[in-house]
Structure 1
């Protein structure tokens, strides 16, 4: 009986470790791709905070990824008027196509939903 409990316990610990690693990877990717020049975790800079994005999309990682990829490739405007005062997000050609890093960012952001 103890072996299954230990195995489950280990799986939970390993699962938590993966979540922490993904968050670190997402935060590191956001810094590396230059996202943090305009976005911060909890406060609005030029663009909305990552927490605001997570809440708007209700932590839906797939929707966050889709939105991030679209805005990185094409730029964006009009979706965050109240936060940005109408300042558009220009396309980010250095980040476009960086699928693995954008996935890590989306995962990190989705984890901030309350």
Structure 2
């Protein structure tokens, strides 16, 4: 494959990752997640960075967090999170969880 084409493909993938991260943050705000969570400090729920740290390195983190966001629940961080499935699409949940897990 042509080196220029390969470089362009890599750049496109990197930009898609950046766009998804930006979209994840915007979607978290739009979906009301930031009423209970912030990026770096506990509000009613844990900070997104705290969630990312808890799930860091776990192969099933994306799927588990998507299910948690979709269904809600309690106990993970000693609080109760309402379900979002009725108002947030699966694609949006996936983007938000990807963004959260990418936080350091």
- TM-score, reference length from structure 2: 0.80
2:35 maps to which of 37, 43, 65: 37
What corresponds to 1:91 in structure 2? 83
Count of aligned pairs: 104
Q: Which residue of 2 aligns with 1:111?
A: 102
Offset of 1:17 from its aligned partner? 0.6
Of 3, 15, 40 in structure 2, the residue corresponding to residue 5 of structure 1 is: 3
| CA distance in structure 2 between the aligned counterparts of 1:53 and 1:65, rounded to whole angstroms | 14
1:76 to 73, 98, 101: 73
Q: Where do 5+ consecutive residues of structure 2 fail to align?
A: none
- Matched residue, 2:48: 50
Q: Conserved in 2, the CA contact under 8 Å of 1:61 and 1:106?
A: no
Unpaired runs of at least 5, structure 1: 82-86
Post-superposition CA distance 1:32-59 (Å, at most 9, x none): 1100111111221111111111111115
Give CA deviations for 1:51-80 in whole Å, capped at 9, x if unaligned. 11111111558524433433442x322221
Partner of 1:84: none
- Tell me how far apart the structure 1 counterparts of residues 14 and 69 of structure 2 sit (CA, whole Å): 30
The alpha carbon displacement at 1:19 in A equals 0.7
What SS does the corresponding residue of 2:74 show, helix, strand or coil?
coil
